[in-house]
Amino acid sequence: MQTFDAIIIGAGQAGPSLASRLTEAGMTVAFVERKLFGGTCVNTGCTPTKAMVASAYAAHTARRAAEYGVKLNGPVEIDMKAVIARREAIVAKSRNGVENSLRKNPRCTVFTGTASFESRHTVKVGDDRLEAKQIFLNVGGRATIPDFPGIHEVPFLTNTSLLALETLPKHLIIVGGSYIGIEFGQMYRRFGSEVTIIEKASRLVQHEDEDVSAAVLDILQGEGIHVRLDAECISLVPHAEGVSVGVQCNSDEPPSIGSHVLLAVGRTPNTQDLGLDRAGVATDERGYVLVDDQLRTNVEGIYAMGDCNGKGAFTHTAYNDFEIVAANLLDNDPRRVSDRIPCYAMYMDPPLARIGMNETEVRKSGKRALIGTRPMTRVNRAVEKGESLGFMKVLVDAESKKVLGASLLGVGCDEAIHCLLDTMYAGAPYSTVQRAVHIHPTVSELIPTLLGSLKPLD
């Protein structure tokens, strides 16, 4: 048995930073990772996809070159091997950075393998048995593999295996019309694949407002992506061209025939092989570790951070979990999950940025509110760049005058939205941003104008 002050399981977005803080505070740490340092975001999530989104954007802009008065001496061609090499160079730098910082840390001992609990304070990794009073879980999640009829008869792809594909799919069928489906769908369309997105809801990104879903659909269809909605019953059958994806059980709607199928229907937490029952750690029915507002599980000394606790599903929420745990344990600062304001972006082009409540949620809440909307065609910078698709929408509490939330779909909106987000964190009224002088020409400069257009939400 090897004894440490702490054991951290999983090198995702929270664990490595926590290892640093704990060892700086003089503690000894056993760090366990079974596969790739940096976890999902670095290896199979944010970093590789955003690197490929950048390549796809370059291809898209090159195809539009003539609109900008730029001549190309031939059609735009994609070199997938070069796209992948660029992506992998970016990923490797990040992954190696995380791994090296852990291995170089003299107070941190790295174990490679799958960790599972033997009891509340002991964990097994291969032949090693580790013991600590404090144990931190940062085990993340993986693509959900639904139990579709025929699923085991076709070679389906997930976000991980698609990244390993070196050739361009002739026709990529994507099941799931949310973040992963849309980001990959637009990217592969721009690389030259035919793409069909199949979604069971009656609209794409169903958790967004209807006008946002409609604008996203328009943009994707405008690039030649086929979208099939209300797909209630997916089935998979091998086909001479690859795979046939049935969408309905009770009607004779034709299936979609493609060369490859990507499953993008959500994530499953990596908690089933952790032996949580042997430690007595409680999970919900989907396998997410139950935690309180300071990320403590029901067992003293065991904490869960990142996607595996179901309180967030993003890199920034996983990192914030590290900050919360470190602040409570080391800084005598009672930070809490409930202090954070929901925020995220979907990296289609143009990006969709979201903070706080959307219009549907505000209406449901019954709050008296003000709403402002503006099309991106009113943003000079977007027009000058030739990228004026999308719109901005902001909601404000009619009484407190504080920003309730915003949905910004447009070029640069993933950055511009932070002036509203920071106003929310500051607890300041919307007039603070409305009166701020923003730089011309930027996308952010339309936000004061947007706030000047607020009207009662009827």
Binding-site residues for FAD sit at 50, 307
206 binds ligand NAD, rule: CB under 6 A: yes
Judged by CB under 6 A, does residue 198 bind ligand NAD? yes
350 binds ligand FAD (CB under 6 A): no
Indicate the helix (H) or strand (E) that contains 386: none
Number of residues that bind ligand FAD (CB under 6 A): 38
The least CB distance from residue 96 to ligand FAD, in Å, is 14
Instruction: Give the tokens for residue 398.
Output: 């009619």
Binding partner of 414, given ligand NAD, ligand FAD, none, CB within 5-8 angstroms per partner class: none
Burial of 213 (0-12, 13-18, 19+ CB in 10 A): buried
Site for ligand NAD in 293-322 (CB under 6 A): 313-314
* Interatomic CA distance for residues 33 and 113, integer angstroms: 6
Candidates 181, 164, 171; CA nearest to 267 is: 181
Q: Which residues pair with 373 in a beta bridge?
A: 393
Among 15, 48, 177, 242, indicate the residue that binds ligand NAD (CB under 6 A).
Answer: 177
Binding site members: 50, 176-183, 199, 266, 307
Question: Contact with ligand NAD (CB under 6 A): which of 347, 359, 405, 408?
Answer: 347
Contact criterion met (CB below 8 Å) for 40 and 140? yes
Other CB atoms within a 10 A radius of the CB of residue 68 amount to 9
Residues 124-153 as x/- pattern, contact with ligand NAD by CB under 6 A: ----------------------x-------
Q: What does the DSSP assignment read for 420-452?
A: HHHHHHHT-BTHHHHTSPPPTT-STTHHHHHHH
Nearer to ligand FAD, 116 or 373 (CB): 116
33 binds, among ligand NAD, ligand FAD, none (CB under 5 to 8 A by kind): ligand FAD
Applying CB under 6 A, does 391 fall inside the site for ligand NAD?
Answer: no
The footprint of ligand NAD on residues 258-277 (CB under 6 A) is: 264-267
- Tokens at 23, concatenated: 């060892």
178 binds ligand FAD (CB under 6 A): no
For the annotated catalytic residues, the residue numbers are: 440
Long-range pairs of 212-216 with CB within 8 A, sequence gap ≥ 24:
212/352, 212/358, 212/393, 212/407, 212/409, 215/389, 215/390, 215/391, 215/409, 216/182, 216/348, 216/352, 216/409
Contact footprint for ligand NAD (CB under 6 A)? 146, 175-181, 183, 198-201, 206, 231, 234, 264-267, 313-314, 344-347
